[in-house]
């Protein structure tokens, strides 16, 4: 298994509070991604990073920000959580080669009350 | 824009029977194609991928998929299903060298004894 950990694994928070999810990898891969998974939608890309301090928006980026200050860590922040952000969040990594596979972390289940 | 459609939300199959999961994509060129599996409470695991060449691709756990350009399809098959194949299956596509995946909505497979 690829060395990807996500923390926390479960979180319950209240509407309006800030939340930060962490993805940590030990593979020294260049690309890192944040997805959210909701029933019927599969996984949708929120943000991704192609290097330290290099990030870009995905399909569903509104309400989310990211930061990557080190190769191994990619943080996802919900500045003011809303109930619509209740979801399971997955981090993924890849080396960046066009034929490489994306490897996924175990996920974080976030509930916003 | 590219989209991925998995027409079947749920499929129930008897143990030992064959399984076929459908995936259609809309994209002008031939994208890179992937099938992932997600067991309950787990992250996603790659079953197989197609980039070019032989249109019949072999994967792990006895799965195979066939790319049909004329039908814009990449259907997943297994000749004989085991109870451990009960999971959710996701088709995904990526523009060549894009390193960004677009997922279908998923097909949940239930296996009857």
Profile chain B (113 residues) by mean pLDDT over runs of 10 residues. Answer: 87 97 87 92 91 92 95 96 96 77 94 95
Put simply, the answer to whether B101 touches A101 (Cβ < 8 Å) is no
Q: CA dist B99 to A47, A58, A63, B12, Å? A: 12, 12, 23, 33
| Tens-place pLDDT, residues A86-110 | 999 999 999 877 778 899 999 999 9
Shortest distance between the Cα of A105 and any Cα of chain B, in A, equals: 6
pLDDT of residue A2: 67
Longest dimension (CA), chain B: 42
**Which residues in chain B have their CB less than 8 angstroms from residue A41's CB?**
105
Q: Using an 8 Å CB-CB cutoff, list chain B residues near A50.
A: 99
């Amino acid at each position: 298994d690829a060395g990807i950990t996500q923390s926390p694994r479960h979180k319950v928070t209240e509407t309006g509070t800030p939340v930060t999810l962490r993805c940590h990898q030990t593979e020294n891969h260049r690309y890192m991604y944040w997805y959210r998974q909701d029933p019927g939608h599969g996984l949708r890309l929120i943000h991704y990073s192609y290097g330290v301090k290099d990030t870009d928006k995905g399909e569903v980026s509104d309400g989310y920000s990211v930061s990557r200050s080190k190769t191994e860590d990619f943080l996802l922040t919900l500045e003011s959580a809303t109930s619509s952000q209740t979801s399971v969040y997955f981090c993924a990594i890849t080396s960046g080669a066009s034929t490489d596979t994306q490897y996924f972390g175990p996920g974080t289940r976030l509930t916003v009350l | 824009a590219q989209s991925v459609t998995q027409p079947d939300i749920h499929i129930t199959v008897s143990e030992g029977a064959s399984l076929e999961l459908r995936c259609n994509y809309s994209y002008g060129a031939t994208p890179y194609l992937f099938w992932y599996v997600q067991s309950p409470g787990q992250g996603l695991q790659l079953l197989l991928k197609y980039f070019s060449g032989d249109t019949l691709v072999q994967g792990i756990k006895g799965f195979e998929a066939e790319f049909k350009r004329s039908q814009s399809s990449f259907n997943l098959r297994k000749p004989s299903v085991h109870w451990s194949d009960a999971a959710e299956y996701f088709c995904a596509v990526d523009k060549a060298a894009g390193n960004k995946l677009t997922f279908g909505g998923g097909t949940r497979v239930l296996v009857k004894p």
